[in-house]
Structure 1
Amino acid sequence: MRRLVQLVGLFLVLQGVSGAIDHLAHQPFFGVVLNLFNRFVVPSVDALAGYELYANLSLAVLGAAVVVAAERVVPA
């Protein structure tokens, strides 16, 4: 279960970094998968208008925090 949570956290990091790259330049690799947050969530939330780069970088930091938290959990 811990590996699954780490995988989700890694996917969040990749989505955040990919969205930031896509916002600054064109993202040529796996744009369909890695920019889901950038294409569906960011336009739907009005509070994120104009803060797309910060939203993507925050998603990457959140994903890194999930990876670190999953690593530190002691299995029972």
Structure 2
Amino acid sequence: MRKAIQIAGVVLALQGISGAIDHLAVQPFFGIFLNFFNRVIIPRIGALTGYELFANLALAALGVVLVIAAERAPA
């Protein structure tokens, strides 16, 4: 279970970083997969409109927190 949480954390972190890069410039690598949050989730949540960069960086931070928490959790 720990590995699954770590993998989910890494995916969230990558999606957040990729979304932030895509918001500031253009992200040519794995755009469909890595920018899912940025292109599908954010437009559907009205409260995040105008805060796309913050939302992507918060997603990346959440992913890092998941990886760290899974690493420190007892076996």
Q: Is the TM-score greater than 0.5?
A: yes
1:4 counterpart = 2:25: no
1:46 counterpart = 2:50: no
Q: Distance in 2 between matches of 1:36 and 1:14?
A: 11
Task: Note the residue ranges of structure 1 that are not aligned, 5 or more in a row.
Answer: none
Task: Note the residue ranges of structure 2 that are not aligned, 5 or more in a row.
Answer: none
Following superposition, the deviation at residue 39 of structure 1 comes to 1.1
Stretches of 4+ aligned residues off by more than 6 angstroms? none
- What is the root-mean-square deviation of aligned Cα atoms in Å? 0.4
Q: How does 1:1-76 map to 2 (within 5 A)?
A: 1-75=1-75
Question: What is the letter of the counterpart of residue 42 of structure 2?
Answer: V
CA offset digits 1:18-40 (Å, max 9, x no partner)? 00000000001000100000111
Q: Distance in 2 between matches of 1:38 and 1:20?
A: 8
Question: What is the letter of the counterpart of residue 18 of structure 2?
Answer: S
Q: Give me the TM-score of the superposition, normalised by structure 2.
A: 0.98
